[in-house]
Every structure is written in structure tokens, then in C-alpha cells.
Structure 1
């Protein structure tokens, strides 16, 4: 199955068609419309017991997954990027182990493949190795306590904690509350080796997403199965060092090693599908409603976020002027929508 609309990359659709042709499976294409754009939150959409990013895509999922409604099982690829690949945290681990030259070679090769300057990327990784987890969280807490945060384009490269655009929407009270939470997190027992910490943190995040999507799957008549989250698959993949799973040229090198019969055009692909254009269009289509949602949310009512600051960022994103805030806006909007639903549910129950 594939989803397409007026914002979908032609390269993604061509690749999906090629995969279907190579495997000899039926290729069902769902043609989406503006009604399926993110952040529509149609009436009757379940809220579930926890916020989940996929909530913003419910209308798209309802359309895209309709062909598998009622089937006994629906296999998904969630978690594949984590167990078959790894992040640049593995290069920070090289620095932690004193293997500076090897780390630098990896960073330079990675930057050259993407025609970017390696300097800022290398600097970010060195900072992560020097600060450590507790140091990075403490630095973020101090930055919040000093005063308002100005949203900046994030430098590519792994970090223990990076203050994104969301930090710029916090009130003074909100900044101090988040700073306290960061210091509390710094005292938690977590792996200090970056590659180990990152892979388990990413896996927990995907697992939480799968758990949170369960009410949506039930509402849509879908029974998802997550083979990449299976305990045996995770143990087998994580038994391979993260550095060996980190691909520069090869697309998921562990996949290529496990299934050498796969064609080179598949395993050497370095691009990845994105819904950025759909998000921007969704912000524009639902801008007024989303403004109202964040301004009336418990986060605003509790004095944690500044609705005017959010409104400015949302307007910029809706015009396509600030792609760096899209991920943070996505998280905030879903959280506000979920919290509002929980508040409404409690009010109805009280009546």
C-alpha cells in the first residue's frame, strides 16, 4: 500500500512501485485529498490513554489503511530504522572510547556524501562526548533558567539534550518547571555509553508509539503487528555493535548482510520519505483551529506556554518559512489536543 496526494514526493511513489513490481505483490495506491491532511482531528477520533504523534495523521490513516481493514493481521515496519541501523551516537561512543581519528573519518565521510560541512557536525558530537548525559541536561536547565530561548536551526549531529523550538514557547514559570524536570532526569540511572543509551531510548519511544496507536487501530479495524519490536529480533539486532549497523553508503547495512539476495538499488537507497509538505499544508488549512486549540489548552491555562509565541511559530510554519519548528509544533499540538480531550472527559464524568 502507498499513500499519495498533491504533496507527495514522486520519487517515493516510484520507489514504492518498483518494490511492488520486484516482489510481485499488489500495489494499492490511496489518493488522498485535503481532508486527509494532518491535524484535522475529525469528530469521533479516539484520544487513547496517552498522547501519540500519529493522532495528527488519523484522517490519513483512515483513508490509507482502509484496504486492510478487517484483515487478521497487518504487518508494519515500525522499529526497523532502530534495529537495522543506528544513529550518529555510535560516533560519539568512539570519542568516549578515545578513538578520535576513527570518529572524525566517519563524520567527514558522512558529510561529504550529503555535501555538507563537517565542522558544525563534528563540534556537536565532541560536545556530546565531553558533557555526558548529566552535564548536557544541566546545561539545558541553566539555559532555560537564564531567560527566554530564541529558536535556532539545530545543528545536525547527536545530542543528549537539545532545546528545540518548543523551549521558546515556554513562559518563565514553564521554563523553571522544565529545568526542574531536566535536573530530576539527570539523576536517573541510564546508560552512559551514547550508542547504548540512544538505541534503547529510541526503541522505547517507538514502543510507546505502537502502544498509543492501539485505540486508533481498534477504531479503524486494524490489527497491527510489529515484527521489528519482537524481543528476539531486538536482541539479535542489538547484539551487533551500533557502529556496524551505522550505514554511510549502504541503506541499513544489517539488512543487506542478513538478506544479501536483495537488489542493490533497494539496499543502497539513502533517501527517505517525508510528510513535511503535508504538515505545512495541514498547518495552513487548520491554522485558526490550531491557534484556538493551543490557546485554550491546559498548558496555556496552567501558565506553562505562551500562546502568542506558539501562534507566531505556527503562522511561520503555515507559510513554509520555518521548517525547523514543524516537529515541535506537531508534538505540542497533539499534546494540547489530547489534554483537552482528557479535560473534557473528566468534566463530562463529573456531570
Structure 2
């Protein structure tokens, strides 16, 4: 079962030491790579399934996603302002998706409830993530569209965001994998889908509002909400709870400041509209210095409450998930 370890300006260093020591002890059983699933092919299949395949009960317990990768863009110095990491599939997102949907340890996040605060003799109440009253907002989606076409089955709204140069391939991949959204009727202005849905259709499956929007962390500003994208503004006006998801976006020191500024702005927006907002940030553990700097900036400079999700499945992997 998962628990939350709140980090402060002192305990973060103990946490970093212990987590990277554990990572080193597991090195023999873990892949030693940067985390790209396969940079040699232009089309890749990602399967998301049960941890115990013998418990598979229906087609709803398995997802197979076909992803187009513009691998020539990964090595280009002229596309997307030379920011090219989003053009391939990274392993953090499939790992997180499988853990969240299928593992019993993640049920507290799926269904909500009280989760143990480690070393505090206390608990924190989490709202359910899997509910039609919940919206998911993904930062740094990349081109794959894995989270929208899987987690979209369990929520009322999903907004996938990235820099504008990424969005065309992201939209293509989502459209080609709509069959994975087998629990929902999808409506979307950005994808031009089912803008007029009749009531008889909604009797069979519930509605998912799914949008792909540009969101540049360095330019994101909430001072004038009338300038925000209408779909993003509607998310904050209409949903009781929003979970922000950001998978493998912390991989160098240059992105940390603008990312945390964006999280801070989103939290301010949530406060304005009385929305319960939590952020789940998945990190592949590469540079100890980058992970430390991220935690220092979040906890010390931005004075954010940062929790480490302590979980045996996560700790036997190369990934850490933090909640802000």
C-alpha cells in the first residue's frame, strides 16, 4: 500500500540519498538507459495491461496504443525551437499509467480516501481521481497521447498540453487510438469530434471532453483570465477536482523554474475557482543533481508542500512520483 512522505528543506536530502542508494542497489535488475522506449522506429506499440494477467476480466483491462514517432524531428535542430524530446515515447508514462490503472497500491489515488502520512502519525484525505466530476490536465504531453486515451476512460474532462509544435502529431496519435476510449463518448473542439451528441447515445456511455491545447510554461500567465484558452478556463469553472499530471518533464535544470511557475499559477487559478487541485509528477531518476534541484526549488523557493509517494512497486523501479 502507498503512503506519502512529506519532504522539507532538511529531509529532502535524506530522501535523495536513500532513493538513489536504493536505485543503485537495484541496478542489476533495471534497464540502464535514458528512458526512450525505442528511438529507431517511426511506429511503436505500447501495451498497458494487468500486473497479474491471470486476473484479466475483459477488454477494458487491456490497452494497446499505436504511436507514430517523427524520429527525424528528435535529431533536428530546426523544429520546435530545438526542443525535441517530446517527439519520442519515454518510459515513465507507460509505467505510471499501468501502475495507476491496475495496481492495488494505487487504488487510493483512483478511488480517493485517507492515505498515511509517513512519520507524522496522521493521514491526508485525497479526492478520487477516477470520477466524472474530475478533470485531468497533462503538462508536457509529448506526441504519444497515452494518458488521454487510457485515463480518459475514467474522468469527465482531459486536457493534454504541450508546445505548439508537438500538437499536430499528438492529435494524430489520439485520433488513431480513440478505440481505447471504450468507456466514453468523446467530444472535442480541437479534434473536431462529436460536437453534437444526442441523449440516446449518452444512455450507453458517459461523455469525455478531450482537448489538445498549446501551453508554453515560459509564457503561461493567469493575470487576465479572459486570455486563457476557453477549454482550460472551463475546466476550472466546471470541475470540483483537477489532477495535474506531468511525466518525465524534469530532466534538466533549465526547465525547473518555468515548470514550477506554471504549477504555482495553476494552483492560484484553482484557489480562485475553489477547485481541489493536486499535481502528480513522475521523474525517471537520472541526474541526482537535477532531482535535488527540483525538490529544493519546489520546497524552499516556491514553498510548496511536496510529498514523495512511497510504494514498493515504484521503489523497485527507476521512477519516483511526487505530489504537490
TMscore range, shorter length: under 0.3
Please tell me whether Structure 1 or Structure 2 has the larger radius of gyration of its CA atoms: 1
Greater helix percent: which structure? 1
Question: Under a length normalisation based on structure 2, what TM-score does the superposition of the two structures give?
Answer: 0.28
Greater strand percent: which structure? 2
